[in-house]
Structure 1
Amino acid sequence: MGVDNANLAALVGSRICHDLISPVGAINNGLELLGMAGSMSGPELELISDSVANANARIRFFRIAFGAAGDQQMGRAELISVLEDISKGGRINYQWSPLEGCTRSEARLSLLAALCLESALPYGGTVKIFCAGGKWTVMGEGRKLNVDDELWARVSGGNSNAEITPALVQFALLPEAAKEADRTVRLEQSLEKITLQF
């Protein structure tokens, strides 16, 4: 793998997620031991446990979305597990519909698209991921969509002067990842639904 700016950013993302997952897992193991020993219980332990589970889910999600991609296969069960875990207690419900696994590159594109859609669903909603005949569809549905046209123009390769902040980095990464995978992102929007296809 050559190291250009996009690859370097993906490698940094992979490294950060890899280094964070072990301490978060250790905290979770420590909480389980405290619970088994009976030395700590109640809403405090539940709050800490829920927070650790959420952090673990987000790190696993970010590792796929922002980490290095390639032709390695990812299992369907792993992707469903990540999306189910990140949906718990959140305002967005993620659904993975493909019946087969996929390449890490396809999973990365799907999760970057999901993050873009998440930003348009301030009141929550559902993000569904489909694949048919090698064509991917990632659809976000919810009430009162919040769509910044300048920002979304960037996703489908249009000209955009929208400022990319850390919270919106997925809007810059998705078209680059699509280009790297020889795909084009298409955008469709209605009153309560946004669909990305690649």
Structure 2
Amino acid sequence: MTSQTDLAALLCSRLCHDLLSPVGALSNGIELLADETDPEMQKRCMELLEQSAKTSTDKLKFFRLAFGAAGGFGEYVPVEEAQEVIGSLAADAKRVELNWAISDAKLPKAAIKVMLNLAQIALDALVRGGTLDIGAERTGGNVEIVARATAEKLAFDETIGQALQGELPDADISSRTAAAHMIALLAKEMGGGLQFAMADGALVLGAVLPEPEGMIG
């Protein structure tokens, strides 16, 4: 079984991988700006720096909320925080239409983490743009979450789906599947579960998670 230390290392690898491109672009932009004297090229360098800084910040905000202790130590987190983070990532990805179907102002912290990770997986599948629909509902003592990616072209590694359902062998858990493995463990600890399906140009990711005891209502 993958240890907590191994899982933490894999998640750190994922974070470093995702930040390498925008941080590298920042470094390149600074080098170009230092040597550039043409005003038009200087303007383009500044635009590159601004975009790279925004992308880096957006990714760090996502990792803080999806994997860290953001939101404090309370049981619930404002949905608005998750919407802001996912909205920024979708904007950075470009050509992605984002739709929400969430009526509650707050959701359990674990549900927010699961929702963020499912949204990121769905967003990664939209390699050429498309539609990302995210919904969540508190009903019957559970929180039900769905993230659906729809497009003519989807890219989805089914080992991620196996990890979501707890079916991926430990030997195959990598930085690519670590986030899915983490939320599968989280769902299992809560007595809930995750699932995925692909059909007719759509990737559907779902979760059913029991609400924390004493917090239903």
TM-score (normalised: structure 1) = 0.70
1:144 aligns with 2:153: yes
Q: 2:197 aligns with which of 184, 188, 192?
A: 188
Residues 1:121 and 2:90 are matched in the alignment: no
SS at match of 2:147: strand
Q: 1:185 is paired with a residue of what secondary structure?
A: strand
Task: Summarize the alignment of residues 51-62 of structure 1 with structure 2, pairs less than 5 Å apart.
Answer: 51-62=52-63
- Cα deviation 1:103-142 (Å, max 9, x = unaligned): 2211100111122223433223232221122211111212
Gaps of 5+ in 1: 28-40
Separation in 2 of the partners of 1:111 and 1:159? Answer: 21
Q: What SS does structure 1 have at the residue aligned with 2:191?
A: coil
State the TM-score, normalizing by the size of structure 2.
0.65
Aligned partners of 2:173 and 2:181 also within 8 Å: yes
Which residue number corresponds to residue 30 of structure 2? none
Find the aligned partners of 1:63 and 1:121 in 2 and give their Cα distance: 23
* 1:160 CA drift (Å): 4.6
Asked if 1 retains the 8 angstrom alpha-carbon contact of 2:194 and 2:205, the reply is yes
Percent identity between the aligned chains? 22
Which deviates more from structure 2 when the two are superposed, residues 178-187 or residues 68-77? Answer: 68-77
Do 2:61 and 2:85's aligned partners in 1 also have CA atoms closer than 8 Å?
yes
Alpha-carbon displacement from aligned partner over 1:27-55 (angstroms, at most 9, x marks no partner): 9xxxxxxxxxxxxx722222211111111
Structure 2 residue identity aligned to 1:106: A
Matched-pair contact (CA < 8 Å) for 1:83–1:96: no
Corresponding position of 2:38: none
In angstroms, what is the RMSD of aligned CA positions?
3.6
More strand by share: 2
Code of the aligned partner of 1:55? S
Distance in 1, matches of 2:80 and 2:156, equals: 32
Aligned pair count reads 175
Aligned-partner Cα distance in 1 for 2:152–2:116: 21
Q: Deviations over 1:136-193 (max 9, x none)?
A: 1111212222333344122123355783332332222221121133211122221311
The 1:50–1:151 alpha-carbon spacing in structure 2 relative to 1, beyond 3 Å, is: closer
User: Which deviates more, 183-192 or 164-173?
Assistant: 164-173
Corresponding residue for 2:66? 65
Letter in 1 for 2:60: I
| Letter aligned with residue 125 of structure 1 | G
The yes-or-no answer on 1:109 pairing with 2:109 is: no
DSSP 3-state at the match of 2:92: coil
Q: 1:121 to 1:55 in 2, by over 3 A?
A: same
Partner of residue 101 from structure 2, selected from 82, 87, 97: 97
